[in-house]
Amino acid sequence: MNRILLQGIKKRLDEKAGRWADELYHVLWAYRTTPRSTTGESPFNITFGTEAIIPIDTGVPSPRVTCFNEQLKRGGLRANLDLLEEVREESQIRSATYKQRVSRYHDTKINPREYRVGHLVLRRAAVSRPRKAEKLSPTWEGPYKVVVVIRSGNYKLKTLDENQLPHAWNSKNLRKYYQ
């Protein structure tokens, strides 16, 4: 949300240099009334149970304003409030299915790292010595040789001088070493 608001403010700052506080209201209104791709609904609609009317639409003679009937609108608003829980539940379901699709897509792009006994690997320095990590220090150290595969993704390592490391290492903290 913060990224979206900052982008909206930046777009409006080009036109109104230096007065970002004056433009914040308009950016927030746009954010609250724009439907989200994850839920299919705008935050305004999920909160208040009705679609927001843009302030310009009230002053300009549009069909929405000229055909306005207060009695019909009150009945429609009551019906919207009665259906608000259903709208919220549907948006939660849409959000959950969206998250599942994104997760499935992400999982297809992941290449599992599998090492065998005898492979040479580098280990992440920040994990092995977290306090010594400095800005210009190397991010990987090694090479080390894989001695034992404990289970898929966990390995026992030893240095090239045949000194075994005391702890097992996860594959996310290892990288293949190419000679």
Going by C-alpha positions, the residue among 72, 93, 75 that lies closest to residue 83 is 75
What are φ and ψ of residue 165, in 5° steps?
A: -75, 145
Q: At 117, list the tokens.
A: 């006994």
Residue 134, pLDDT > 80, answer no
- Total count of residues recorded for the chain: 179
pLDDT tens-digit map of 120-129 = 999 988 887 7
Cα gap 115→122, rounded to integer Å: 12
pLDDT tens-digit map of 58-111 = 677 777 667 767 777 777 777 778 888 888 899 999 999 999 999 999 888 887
Q: What is the separation of C-alpha 37 from the centre of its chain, rounded to a whole number of angstroms?
A: 13
- Cα Rg, the chain, nearest whole Å: 28
Cβ neighbours of 39 (radius 10 Å): 19
First-to-last alpha carbon distance for the chain, in angstroms, is 45
Residue 57, pLDDT > 80, answer no
Q: Tell me the domain boundaries of the chain.
A: 34-109, 120-176
User: In degrees to the nearest 10, what's the CA dihedral of 80, 82, 84, 85?
Assistant: -160
DSSP character string of 113-134: ----TT-EEEEEHHHHSGGG--
| Domain 120-176 CATH assignment equals 2.30.30.140 | yes
Q: How confident is the model at residue 160 (pLDDT cuts 50, 70, 90)?
A: very high
> ∠104-109-113 over CA atoms, to 5°?
115
